[in-house]
Structure 1
Amino acid sequence: MSSRNDEKAFLPTPAVHQQRGHSLGVIFSVIAFYWVASLSVVFLNKTILSGSEFKFPYPTTVTLFQLVVALVLLVVCGHLGKRSRTFSMVPPFEFDPDIARKIAPLSAIYVLMLTLNNLCLQLVEVTFYQVARSLSIFFNILFTFTILKQSTSGPAMLSCFIVVLGFVVGSYGEANFSWSGLIAGVGSSIFVALYGIYVKKTLNLVDNNQWRLLHYNTALSIVFLLPIVLFSGEIGEIMENVYFLGNFSFWFLMTITGVAGFLINISMFLQIKYTTPLTNTISGTAKSCVQTLLAMVFYQNPITAMNGFGIFLSLFGSGLYSWVRYKEMQRR
């Protein structure tokens, strides 16, 4: 599901960057793996929700299925990690009710973030998706000040202003504008920002282990999302209107999308481990640009001059913000 914000939807926490020397081949392979996983999630989700013969416009059901796939993979990889060094990064699955109760608020935010993200992707063009989701930077600054009581530097605020300007210009110039899609994108941006803040407040419950947090977060998210799917009426509509439930290709596509979402975690961990923070930042920004260009080619999305300028501003502002925060981190 994505701009760099979408990786955060799957990545439980920004890990500590390690700046060690690695071969160019290793670095290239890690970045390529990250790009493939990230781009696959966006385009596969778009294909499932509204872009193929299998038009399945049920975002909460899609989100639930993908979470179940992720949980199965976590359990399997945790089991394999006991016997193989290849999977040793994933600890055995655990679920302590006392810890789960404290992590529950984070999981509620996670569910809303993923559901609104998929809804936004269903309702807007992929080219506009970057713009609709760009306000996570603005809300991150807002919540950092109101919740964590931390101020933001002037250059970072300027970058945020450029992103907001890109959001306004891109929205006004969007050829296939959707208010509901825009609202879903803004809502998803709000919960992306809240998720990052709550992760920082929750990690100590699992000894700062990202994979352990992912265990609890995925399991709790399924528990929270299941009643929403049942009471939303989507199951009844699916049984009445969807004729391809017995089609193997549809379920294969759904499963592959869930696997790609899970692989984002691994690809982000590897990119953080084997590259520098600057490389990680440049990779994410460049991937967002390529994502927009690919959407123009594959989906033939109409882009007005104003819409294109708004997309450029939101990408430029997001990249500038990442660069500013990277330089600030270096100075610290």
Structure 2
Amino acid sequence: MSTDKDDKFLPSPAVQRGPPQHPLSLIISAIAFYWVASLSVVFLNKTILSGSEYKFPYPLFVTLYQLIVALVLLVVCGQLGKRNRSFSMIPPFEFDLDIARKIAPLSVVYVLMLTLNNLCLQLVEVTFYQVARSLSIFFNILLTYTMLRQKTSPAAMFACAVVVLGFFVGSYGESNFSWAGLWAGVGSSIFVALYGIYVKKTLAVIDNNQWRLLHYNTAISIVLLTPIVLFSGEMGEINREVYFLGDLGFWLLMTLTGVAGFLINTAMFLQIKYTTALTNTISGTAKSCVQTLLAMVFYQNPITAMNGFGIFLSLLGSGMYSWVRYAEMQRR
């Protein structure tokens, strides 16, 4: 038995236990699931928008269809969660009009983010996609300061400068350059940064439950995007130009893109739950590198030396920024 004096030098029970230790197989499975889901989202969207026999260059309609698929899956999984523990993380679907009004600004940002992201992916090569959307870090720092009055450390600013340099070098060296694709990527980066800020401000409305937020956000986004699709002229053009609307293979591919979009939310949740913040950061950066390499192999995208150097700087700066932010979080 220890004395009172000895007890002062013993760690508390919480410290002794530390974070829960998950089996290595479970950690590897969570990371692998995230990689498969994340890579599938990018490559399936690129395939449906511009790279297959079912070339369907209508990003607004594609985004709307993916949201509808995601909402159906959320409702089904919410019902399954009542009976099966495997789905218990997803609560039953709910929709309260007062809560919806408070979440609506986030949904506007979300719709613009998804639409511009799909438009960028349609117009640029997958190898350049990472560069075109890399400015989300820059806009995150800018908007965090202007909207929340939070300053960024010099180390994070330096990492951001590397990303911005990579953006300009990669853009200048891109052989299949598209101004429309570039501006769509920049716009997407702005709304990615805004989305992160609005999520933090909105989570309190639904008791910090990300799945409840996803319920409302997906449903409201469908309501917002439907009239835009109807009045954009895409529906008329689809009816005139698309000859494979009756093909089952086309709708299977479209549905698969929606399922992949839904799974990425689950995959991110599981990777965060079963790994550390550092592992999550490294995994995301490594996935971006593999995504670029796979695009070079599968799509045979031509890459100039300057374009390759820009991609390298963009990925390096993103990795540095993630590491710096993680280290700052640990210190706090």
**Same fold, judged at TM 0.5 (above):** yes
Please report the TM-score for the alignment, with normalisation by the length of structure 1.
0.94
Matched, 1:192 2:192: yes
Structure 1 runs, 4 residues or longer, greater than 3 Å off: none
Query: Structure 1: which 5+ residue stretches go unaligned?
Result: 1-17
2:24 and 2:105 map into 1 onto residues whose CA distance is 41
Equivalent residue letter for 1:271:
Q
Deviation of the 1:19 alpha carbon: 4.4
Query: Structure 2: which 5+ residue stretches go unaligned?
Result: 1-17
Match of 1:67 in 2: 67
State the superposition RMSD in angstroms: 0.7
Write out aligned runs for 1:18-167 (5 A). 19-167=19-167
Equivalent residue letter for 1:203:
L
Match of 1:11 in 2: none
1:245 and 1:20 map into 2 onto residues whose CA distance is 50
2:84 and 2:306 map into 1 onto residues whose CA distance is 53
**Could you give the per-residue CA deviations for residues 34-89 of structure 1, whole angstroms, max 9, x where no partner exists?**
00000000000000000011110000000000000000000000011111101100
What SS does the aligned partner of 2:148 have?
coil
2:183 and 2:268 map into 1 onto residues whose CA distance is 28
Match of 1:234 in 2: 234
2:149 and 2:70 map into 1 onto residues whose CA distance is 34
**Could you give the per-residue CA deviations for residues 271-298 of structure 1, whole angstroms, max 9, x where no partner exists?**
0000001110110000000000000000
1:20 and 1:164 map into 2 onto residues whose CA distance is 38
Write out aligned runs for 1:196-211 (5 A). 196-211=196-211
**Could you give the per-residue CA deviations for residues 107-129 of structure 1, whole angstroms, max 9, x where no partner exists?**
00000000000000000000000
1:41 and 1:278 map into 2 onto residues whose CA distance is 23
Deviation of the 1:21 alpha carbon: 1.2
Deviation of the 1:254 alpha carbon: 0.5
Match of 1:308 in 2: 308
Identical pairs, percent? 82
Deviation of the 1:20 alpha carbon: 2.6
Flag the structure with larger Rg.
Answer: 2
Deviation of the 1:187 alpha carbon: 0.1
Equivalent residue letter for 1:32:
A
Paired residue total: 315
Equivalent residue letter for 1:276:
T
Match of 2:3 in 1: none
Deviation of the 1:23 alpha carbon: 1.4
1:267 and 1:143 map into 2 onto residues whose CA distance is 27
Equivalent residue letter for 1:154:
P
2:203 and 2:160 map into 1 onto residues whose CA distance is 27
Match of 2:220 in 1: 220
Please report the TM-score for the alignment, with normalisation by the length of structure 2.
0.94
Write out aligned runs for 1:261-280 (5 A). 261-280=261-280
